[in-house]
């Protein structure tokens, strides 16, 4: 099962280079949920979710776990607003 980071607002996926894409095939794949959480904290992302891709293509078996909005599980503020899908880069 692949783990991706997805914007709750735009439904875009985080890429390896820190951009956002609507094409799940270009999304960065995290081996573990913990690795995805570390990326969220390090990049101070907000309004994101971990998207669990259960097969090779999106399906109704996929599911998400929301990571909150202005704070991720109360562990600190997330100051970086999400860029629009396909535009901008994360720090």
Q: Does the residue 49 lie in any domain?
A: yes
Cβ contacts of residue 83 below 8 Å, gap of 6+? Answer: 19, 20, 89, 90
Q: Does the residue 85 lie in any domain?
A: no
The pLDDT of residue 69: 63
**φ, ψ for residue 29 (rounded to 5)?**
-100, 125
Number of domains within the chain: 1
Residues in the chain, pLDDT under 70: 68-91
The pLDDT of residue 80: 45
Strand ranges (DSSP E) for the chain? 2-7, 13-14, 20-21, 48-53, 63-66
Give the range of the structural domain holding residue 54, as residue numbers without chain letter.
2-66
* Residues 35 and 5: beta-carbon distance below 8 Å: no
Q: Does the residue 77 lie in any domain?
A: no
- Residue 24 has, within 13 A of its CA and on its CB side, a CA count of 16
Q: Does the residue 91 lie in any domain?
A: no
Q: Does the residue 80 lie in any domain?
A: no
């Amino acid at each position: 099962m692949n783990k991706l980071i997805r914007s709750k607002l735009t439904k875009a996926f985080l890429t390896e280079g820190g951009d956002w894409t609507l094409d799940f095939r270009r999304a960065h794949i995290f081996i573990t949920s913990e690795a995805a959480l570390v990326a969220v904290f390090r990049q101070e992302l907000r309004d994101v979710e971990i998207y669990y891709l259960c097969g090779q293509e999106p399906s109704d078996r996929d599911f998400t776990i929301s990571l909150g909005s202005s704070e991720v599980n109360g562990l600190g503020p997330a100051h970086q607003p999400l860029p629009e899908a396909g535009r901008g880069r994360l720090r």
